Structure 1
Amino acid sequence: MIPVFDGHNDLLLRLLADPARREEIFLTGEGKGDLDLPRMKASGFAGGFFAIYLPSRSAVVEEEEDDDYQAKMEVPPYCLPLPDLIDFPAAIRPATEAAGHLLWMERASEGALKVCRTAAEVAACLKDGTIAAIMHMEGAEAIDESLDSLHLFHAAGLRSLGPVWSRPTIFGHGVPFAYPSSPDTGPGLTEAGKRLVAECNKLRIMIDLSHINEKGFDDVARLSDAPLVATHSNAHAVTPSSRNLTDRQLAVIRDSGGMVGLNFAVGFLRPDGGKGEDCGWDPVLRHMDHLLKHLGEDHLGFGSDYDGAATPAVIGDVTGLPRLLQALSDHGYDRPLLEKIAHGNWLRLLQRTWGA
């Protein structure tokens, strides 16, 4: 079994929504969601970026309104309004709780999972079979304008950060959920955003561009001295969603020595922008082939968005990773290429970004 290192998951959001049941959710598996420790171990899930993501409203309201939000995305074309900005005082508590859940996972797993702060630690985990967890922040609402909390989270293990999750922050602007749409949907980084990029470079915190708009993407590309990364995004040329990357953006990422992780979310895979999960392997293979063509074999990986999005039925939850690798093998990807895509490229990206 080829180990798979994953660019993005939202397991911490499930724990944040129901902390009283976190042992059942993570340790024993509840038969729901995409990830838990038993299924990760059984499916070759070698680790990945565990996202601190904050719902725009309370968990109950979010679930009720999300049903309506998702229904609107069932019938393209669509362009959905973005939630309002979450200010720092409202964000810091749940973000701290989510970070605490990840640290609890490390202890509760009794050695099966490790929160990694260096590329050497990730490499060691890949070698010995320990699940390598990277603390990631999807949307920087919990970072104050002075950036003091950035240093606090970095001390706790934060090594990857997206300035925005689609809704605006004090640092920049994300893309709305829109199809068909260009990613060029608004202004670029704010002055605070530019300072954030500089400080992340100093701390060697990876900057994730998956939800940022095109002008913000270009600002980061101009300002950052690190490889450019989109942890969970697809090809705009195949599926013209605002969330996907144009061929120009793919070239900029490739030339920086960066990475793109294929997002398993159906709405960003299907060329028609639909949400039906019975789409088979074709859209997955079309995106993989396009990304491989424009990025090259050293700059492509997976960014599942597990526990944050509906995936094709042929993949399903984390236990579908071996099926995905088999489908790519049947499509003509040889084992050395699969090993690069599954984990090797991510490890080398982290070495380039964080140092050995």
Structure 2
Amino acid sequence: MSQKNSDNKHEVGINNKKMVGKQSIAFENPPYIIAAASIAGKKEGEGPLGNLFDQVVEDSMFGQDNWEAAESELMKMTAQRALMKAELKNTDIRYLVGGDLLGQLIATSFGIAELNIPLFGVYGACSTMGEAMSLGAILVDGAYAKKVIAITSSHFAGAEKQFRFPLDYGNQRPYSASWTVTGSGAVILSDQKSQKKKEGEPDIVITGVTTGKIVDYGIKDSMNMGAAMAPAAFETIKQNFEDFNIKPDYYDKIITGDLGYVGKDILIDLLNEKNYDISKRHMDCGIEIYDQETQDTHAGGSGCGCSAITFCSYVLKQLKEGIWKRVLFVPTGALLSQVSFNEGNTVPGIAHGVMVEAR
């Protein structure tokens, strides 16, 4: 790997070596993000990013009979919206890489079945969008696919029913708890530039990824996901810096998924201990998506849809408008289930880093 300095930042060179450091990949043929779609629920639409989503749906049931079917419909709508924006048909897509929070990925499997696209179902809890984008980019860069959809979703009511308490219980939520986002985000990755972008608009590419490891600091509180996930975000971000021999100022923004107000502080402290100060460049999707003063969401937003719809609306907008040039997108996940939690196990975390650049 070689480096050169440009505009007071590092340019990463790859010298035809895709494997970088211990956990990273630099793409020889960086996949293009040619389209993105974001569909959100009513509460998300009332938040600070509400006017950026492609669609806000007032009906939390999405016209279905149960919460699980509602999330499947949400994911299908989002995949179809992404295809429409790219002016593509389902037959133009080689693979769909996606997942959700529900058991056995039922939101994904039932949601995209009628699209008839070959599927890689993935689970990384709330880090799933990072995992899906990483694997999709690997497929495109490796010439195993020309076009791939990376997609994920979450639904507040479905997640509460599965991981905590059904809404009918009316249970109290501690201030460390986050609010699962009702939303779905999708990106279409391609080996060719988009022909639909506006004049003067940059190409958005994925230049590399840093795959996260499972990190377990012994947290057992299922109502404090920020504390469980922050160490995983710390390890992935630190490893990205080390693998590419770069510093935080390489990026205009370092964007975590859903650490919220609790996890954000832990992440900043952990990185400071290693002499990495990201405080001026860090952004957390779980903090951005809701208004803490007017929306009763306690520690912020979470869920697979949290980072997905924030990336597909706000983050891509900033890149396309030239406000940011490079970002490290790090969705974070808490790897628990009803079984593991009820058996008294800890809540391990994982985070996947995706390097996105406007060119």
TM-score of the pair, normalised by structure 2? 0.31
Greater helix content: 1
Higher strand fraction (1 or 2)? 2
Higher relative contact order (CA 8 A, sep 6+): 2
